[in-house]
Amino acid sequence: MISIDRTPIGAMKILSCYREVQQILAGKMPVPRTMEFFLSNDCNHACAGCHSRYLHREEQRFLDFETVKEVVSDIAELGVEGVEISGGGEPLLYPKIIPAIAFMRGRGLKVGMFSNGTLLDAETSEFLVQNLLFLRIAFDAGSRETYRKIHGRDDFQKLQENLEMLVSLRSKVSAGGGGKGRRKGKAKYGMATLGAKYLVSNRNWSELKAAAEMAREAGLDYLQYKVLRASRFTPEGETLEKAREVADEARELSDESFQVFGSLEKTKVIGRCFLNPLHPVIDATGNMYLCAFFHHRKKTHRIGNVNEKSFPEIWYGKRHMEAFKSTKPKECAVFDCPFHEAAVLARSWIVENQKHLEFI
């Protein structure tokens, strides 16, 4: 009996990029599978350890909506499949967030969004559950006090209320929704996957299980956890050891309709990145970067600006190829990039072709 990983996140997905990886190996830029937008540099929270607060403070607040439409039209025409809206700052502060998502959907793209979830109202929530493929919300605490310390705002109660609203709206709009509002059946529009994201630090590790219980109780589909890196709050030594035990307990809460998954281990980088052309990022100033982990190397990762050149001009330009060829494994080792694990799989399965993929 084959066991299927039912979580929507995981390195195995890289195996669906067989053709793209072959193109990269042949020295050609493939069409990215996913385009990530940081639409907003503004945020209503002030999270401890947030890199964006320091990096984007002085920069333009929002990506120009006309530019968004141009880029979205270009990437849809090229064949990009998914758009991830994250930050940067809080996407719900983007003044045209609903028209932007509607435009993306109108161009046939699937859209997912990351948010702190505190700015939702009923109208926006209804639109989001109907138009997003997933909404992942920063949870980060199992108590009001810890949430306040981490997010810098006393919004834990508001977050709980908003999650309840999202789940109940999803139940209303999706056929067959029921029980406590947890999703039944396969992902489709009108029933966005609703997940929680827990960034484990030395301030909240002990509440991971409590948060997972709350997320399950609220009717969310999953809680994903990972370690806050490159911060004075990064858990280490004995704290990390204890955090692993809590994470083990939290994972046991997984059942048919709710999953707890993640890792507290540092990912390992093997060789230079050859997967970043699958998932570039455009920030609120229009700068395009090789990948989402550009913070500590803005200069080398920047490949152009979509206010100055079109997406295809940047994507297929000389500068992109140069930047792609000069990524440094050591600099990739700062954060737990999902492509580290994906690269191991892609190398053995596609590059070394141990399974003779020409034969099915």
Note the residues at the interface with ligand SF4 (CB under 6 A). Answer: 273, 275-276, 290-291, 293, 327, 332, 337, 339-340
Describe the crossing of helices 156-173 and 122-131 by its angle, rounded to 10 degrees. Answer: 50
Task: Work out the number of other CB atoms within 10 angstroms of the CB of residue 188.
Answer: 10
Which of residues 48 and 291 has its CB atom nearest to ligand SF4 in the complex?
A: 291
In the complex with ligand SF4, which residue's Cβ is closer, 147 or 315? 315
Burial (CB count within 10 angstroms: exposed 0-12, middle 13-18, buried 19+), residue 225: buried
Q: What are phi and psi of 93, to 5 degrees?
A: -85, -15
Closest distance of CB 38 from ligand SF4, Å: 15
Nearest residue (CB) to ligand SF4, 136 versus 340? 340
Closest to 274 (Cα-Cα) out of 336, 342, 348: 342
For the CB of residue 144, give the shortest distance to ligand SF4 in the complex, in Å. Answer: 34
- Least Å distance, CB 327 to ligand SF4, is 4
User: Min. distance of Cβ 330 from ligand SF4 in angstroms?
Assistant: 10
CB of 333 to ligand SF4, least distance (A): 8
Give me 147's structure tokens.
């949430």
207 vs 336 by CB, closer to ligand SF4:
336
Residue nearer to ligand SF4 on the CB measure, 116 or 276: 276
Report the sign of the C-alpha dihedral through residues 161, 166, 169, 175, in that order.
Answer: negative
Q: Which is nearer to ligand SF4, 35 or 291 (CB)?
A: 291
Shortest gap between Cβ of 219 and ligand SF4 (angstroms)?
A: 33
Per-position DSSP letters for 270-292, written without gaps between them: -SS---GGGS-EE-TTSEEESSS
Q: How far apart are the first and last CA of the chain?
A: 20
Q: b/e string for 11-47 if b means 16 or more Cβ within 10 A?
A: beebeebeebbeebeeeebbbbbbbbbbbbbbbebeb
| Least distance in angstroms from the C-beta of 113 to ligand SF4 | 20
CB 297, min distance to ligand SF4, A: 9
Distance (Å, rounded) from C-alpha 40 to C-alpha 51?
14
Residue 103 or 315: the one with the smaller Cβ distance to ligand SF4 is 315
Complete DSSP assignment for 100-112: HHHHHHHTT-EEE
Q: Are 87 and 114 in contact (CB under 8 A)?
A: yes
In the structure encoding, which two tokens stand for residue 74, read together? 């270009």
Residue closer to ligand SF4 by CB (options 56, 340) is 340
